[in-house]
Amino acid sequence: MKEIVLDTETTGLSVKDGHRIVEIGCIELDNLIPTENKFHCYLNPERKVSEKALEVHGYTDEFLSNKKKFNEVADDFLSFIKDKQLIIHNAEFDLSHLNNELKLIGKDIIKNKVLDTLGLARDKYPGSQISLDALCKRYRIDNTKRTKHTALIDCELLAKVYINLIDQKEPTLNFHLQEKVNLNKSNKKILHFKKIVKVSDQEKKDHTNYLKSSLKKNFF
């Protein structure tokens, strides 16, 4: 099944205050595996970016001034997402802005099936922090590239978080486990790592040559 991981950046929080989209990022998943198909664009919002939003993503009015307007990319965007399920963290925010942009140019709102990973995380970890950064930390996903909120990087991280949230990813071997493993009689905890790494034909050949040359035994 093909799905679209989607994120936006905006000039501010609410469309009620006239805020607009400045960036759209999308990554296609095919049976939970990211494909080469991506959609990304910066947009001229035709208004100023709020100070708070500037702190979040860093896109200045000057940087956005020569970018395309939403009506120039709308058809390509809609063609990319088609009728695929959308994976969004805090979907209400992104959809409110996307649907507002579509309404402004006389197009129908998005009617795709949507999976909100924020709600999924809230159900799975009630009372815990469920921001994208918090979930990356929980699943030991490297988010060091995320110095600012950018739509495409956030999509890449969200794709990994999503796979973990629905329990479709094997545990990653990590020698710096945050949890202490108690091995006393009353509380035994065993961690199993099932990740299988396949060797290439070249690696097999190199290993065979190594055995021949190093062991000097005529086993082959």
Burial 174-191 (b: 16+ CB within 10 A, else e): eeeeeeeeeeeeeeeeee
Catalytic residue among 89, 149, 176, 192: 149
Q: What angle do CA 191, 193, 195 make, to 5 degrees?
A: 170
DSSP symbol at 128? S
Q: Side by side, which strands form the sheet with 2-10?
A: 33-42, 21-30, 2-10, 85-88, 114-116
For residue range 129-178, what is the model confidence (pLDDT) as tens digits? 999 999 999 999 999 988 788 999 999 999 999 999 998 664 444 434 33
Its pTM stands at 0.75
192 is catalytic: no
- Would the pLDDT of 42 be above 50? yes
Strand partners, 9: 23
For residue range 95-107, what is the model confidence (pLDDT) as tens digits? 999 999 999 999 9
For residue range 183-195, what is the model confidence (pLDDT) as tens digits? 444 444 434 444 4
- What domains sit in the chain, N to C, each tagged with a CATH number? 2-165 (3.30.420.10)
Cα separation, 117 vs 114, in Å, equals 9
